[in-house]
Chains A and B, each alone.
Chain A
């Protein structure tokens, strides 16, 4: 039967490891020093990178209220351990100072040349 044969061919191809490597060739080192200097940098770095890279943080800019809300979201949705209140204050302060809400736009391709 045609679909049985299709299955065998698929299984053979899978067994041969047809797929490509699952990791990027170059990995970027995440270091606290790559973040803007300021109070709370270390606390922020280690709170975030316990699970994920910093790029998801640094590609965003939000108000203090929304960064604070994001900590709640990370605990509720992604199992982030609760920060002690002093650390939380430091982290939210650091994020809202260095990654504030921004206006968008203004990347003209012809101005980069």
Chain B
């Protein structure tokens, strides 16, 4: 197939997948009793054509929903963009997917998230502003705790470390917008796939110990976090982002003012020398380059707290439409998600492969993961995987197992997690909201068993 033909095909699918199915493969949506398309018909010449297009037979083609391009996985951010994804080239970092350079944002390809503890080089990068300069003497870094407290604190880094006991936990930090690229129509912001997640070993002072030392007043309701990252406009009086959490989450024992990441001082890119780690909640609550915690007597109203920022709808809205601010509420716990991490999207498996060992990680914000299932036949049948308990609360969980493939050809490995409340990942990103939070459709990975 010529490259011209390939581009044409992709464009056709981008424009109107059901029409493309009908034109290219003679496949038409099968209307169910309710008039809604179910499975696509795909047989005869159409099936042969699609097989030729992917260079293999498609064993479970009859299960493939209509309008679904084989491996139309939108795995990569900006799948619809003209150019392919860019790769970050940076000292100390793996080949992350570069979303933008100013501010710098880069996501980890799913298959680089196989380590139990995510190494610094594979940890995603999320910035809202510029990376701050570090002072010549890092010990002069100062943290202020003020607002609704009895004794406002002003501590240098050294004072903080000498006064409080350090704790270490493995905890996932996930961008609130992880999965944004799966929304249709597109939502505003960086088009993250599934890789705005990492589970590092964080060492720090429990935030609650510091808040107890400052003495919370009964009027304390919410935290407001501030960092040293300069605003992109250069305006020194404009905080880049300032979000916070209800006091109960701030007082949860795993919420840390972290000083080390994987046993070493936090790298500058990840928030040196002090950052909040507020596990299971949108990463924007885990303020990097922390300088101040302002205890508020109401929900914090810093930049990033209002409007559609880090907020989802109370009552579902029409995708692509408008909804008043009064219909928005703060996104708290992140939703359940699982990733297959030992096989990259687009992997060719050796001829004769009939069983595939699969493994990965799963997590669910404030919850734990109860089950992970894998399908290789477009969701017609699901295979139960084994799921390990978390190393500690908020650490992602290892899952693993085997799936059988009956023949050579093209398969998609679908991975779906269920959280401790029984909530499963959906097929599509639902609950559309203007800035695309909470999108957690299950992951799809294409493989080709060679003939």
Q: A residues near B, CB below 8 A? A: 3-4, 6-7, 10-11, 13-15, 18-28, 30, 50-53, 55-56, 58-63, 65-66, 69-70, 73, 76-79, 101-113
Cα-based distance from A21 to B131 in the complex (angstroms): 11
A-B CB contacts (within 8 Å), total count = 209
Q: With contacts A59-B190, A61-B186, A79-B238 known, is A50 near B233, CB below 8 A? A: yes
Q: Is the CB of B308 within 8 A of A73?
A: yes
Q: Mark B16-39, 1 if CB is under 8 A from A, else 0.
A: 110000000000000000000000
Q: With contacts A6-B161, A62-B186, A73-B308 known, is A106 near B69, CB below 8 A? A: yes
Cα-based distance from A15 to B141 in the complex (angstroms): 12
Which residue, B78, B92, B448, has most C-beta atoms of chain A within 10 A?
Answer: B78
Q: Is the CB of A20 within 8 A of B448?
A: no
Residue from A4, A10, A59 in contact with B78 in the complex, judged by beta carbons closer than 8 Å: A59
Residue from B9, B92, B188 in contact with A73 in the complex, judged by beta carbons closer than 8 Å: B188
Number of interface residues of B (CB under 8 A): 90
Q: B residues near A, CB below 8 A? A: 1, 6, 9-10, 13-17, 53-56, 68-81, 86, 88-93, 98-104, 131, 134, 137-139, 157-158, 161-162, 164-166, 181-182, 184-186, 188-191, 231-233, 235, 238, 259-260, 264-269, 272-273, 303-304, 307-309, 320, 322, 345-346, 410, 434, 446, 448
Cα-based distance from A6 to B15 in the complex (angstroms): 58
Q: What chain A residues lie within 8 Å of B90 (beta carbons)?
A: 20-21, 23-25
Which residue, A27, A51, A60, A104, has most C-beta atoms of chain B within 10 A?
Answer: A104
Q: What chain A residues lie within 8 Å of B259 (beta carbons)?
A: 10
Cα-based distance from A21 to B108 in the complex (angstroms): 19
Q: Is the CB of A107 within 8 A of B188?
A: no
Cα-based distance from A104 to B74 in the complex (angstroms): 7
Q: What chain A residues lie within 8 Å of B434 (beta carbons)?
A: 66, 69
